[in-house]
Amino acid sequence: MFSPVILITAILNGLLTGAVYALVALGLTLIYGVLHIINFAHGALLSAALFAAFFAFHLLGLDPYLAALLLAPIFFGLGYAIQRLIISPASHGDDRNMLLVTLGLSVVIENALLYAFRADTRTIDLPYAFQTIDLGFTFLPIPRLIGFCVVFAVALVLWAIMRRTDVGKAIRAVAKEKLGAQLAGIEVSHVYAVTFGLGTACVAIAACLLIPTFYVNPSVGEAFVLIAFTIVVLGGMGSVPGALVGGLVIGVVESLSGLFLGESLGQIGIFLIFIAVLLVRPTGLFGARA
């Protein structure tokens, strides 16, 4: 079989990739936890953010890690506007309609990108993209290590926002008891839009972490969104720690099944976990509400 060094390397790589998956899933689970909708446009927004990071580097010469500071607020605003101006008025508060509206949005965004930039796959060249750290028995790519650390920093910031600020309190109140929050004077539609904005900002940061070692094309987000759904379901819908742990687990699963089954079948491992979790334990490992 495989030597322990290869296995450990695969696991470490899986953890590094999984952290970025976790960040995408964090945005999704946040939106689900408060609005109780599955945001099908999440993947398309990730594609859009990857293109934004790509052009920030190409046209403005902006380093992706700096671009994150710029793109996060821009995508926060974009997410806020999408929820406030499109999803909320179009869906009339009906769950099934929200599902369809986000699906419609994802179709529009993804194909608008396809229309504008064609199906070409693009990458950026960074001087440090292939630098590695020598651990003695294996090497780890530096950009992905940075990504790993940033993800946990973002999670910490999110946690602080939720626990320590008035907005966070309002979000938690709405998530728990919408009507009660409304009676207490919280503007629910504003809170919804802020949450959607935060989720979208997570996607923008994830895109900036991905772009140094990854590629971008109009449908790249689709692959991520199914993985993100899997993570969210695995960790329990709406659970933030669940998304983090789920992301790491899925990263390792993908890495190992890629090692054992080959690249194209590696993805199947993820979907099978997804279906199995949904069928056997739809509340996820962390047992949040169904």
- Interface contacts to other proteins, rule CB under 8 A: 37-38, 40, 86, 89-92, 94-97, 99-101, 103-108, 110-115, 118-119, 218, 222, 226, 229, 233, 264-265, 267-268, 271-272, 274-275, 278-280, 282
CB 114, min distance to other proteins, A: 3
Q: Give me the least distance between CB of 35 and other proteins, in Å please.
A: 11
Please identify, using beta-carbon distances, which residue of 134 and 263 lies nearer to other proteins.
263
3-state SS, the chain, equals CCCHHHHHHHHHHHHHHHHHHHHHHHHHHHHHHHHCCCCCCHHHHHHHHHHHHHHHHHHHCCCHHHHHHHHHHHHHHHHHHHHHHHHHHHHCCCHHHHHHHHHHHHHHHHHHHHHHHCCCCECCCCCCCCCEEECCCCEEEHHHHHHHHHHHHHHHHHHHHHHHCHHHHHHHHHHHCHHHHHHCCCCHHHHHHHHHHHHHHHHHHHHHHHCCCCCECCCHHHHHHHHHHHHHHHHCCCCHHHHHHHHHHHHHHHHHHHHHHCHHHHHHHHHHHHHHHHHHCCCCCCCCCC
Minimum CB distance to other proteins smaller for 106 or for 255:
106
Taking the complex as a whole, the smallest distance from the CB of residue 31 to other proteins amounts, in Å, to: 12
The least CB distance from residue 215 to other proteins, in Å, is: 18
Minimum CB separation of residue 3 from other proteins in Å reads 27
Nearer to other proteins, 43 or 64 (CB): 43
Least distance from other proteins to the Cβ atom of residue 93, Å: 11
> 42 or 144, CB closer to other proteins?
42
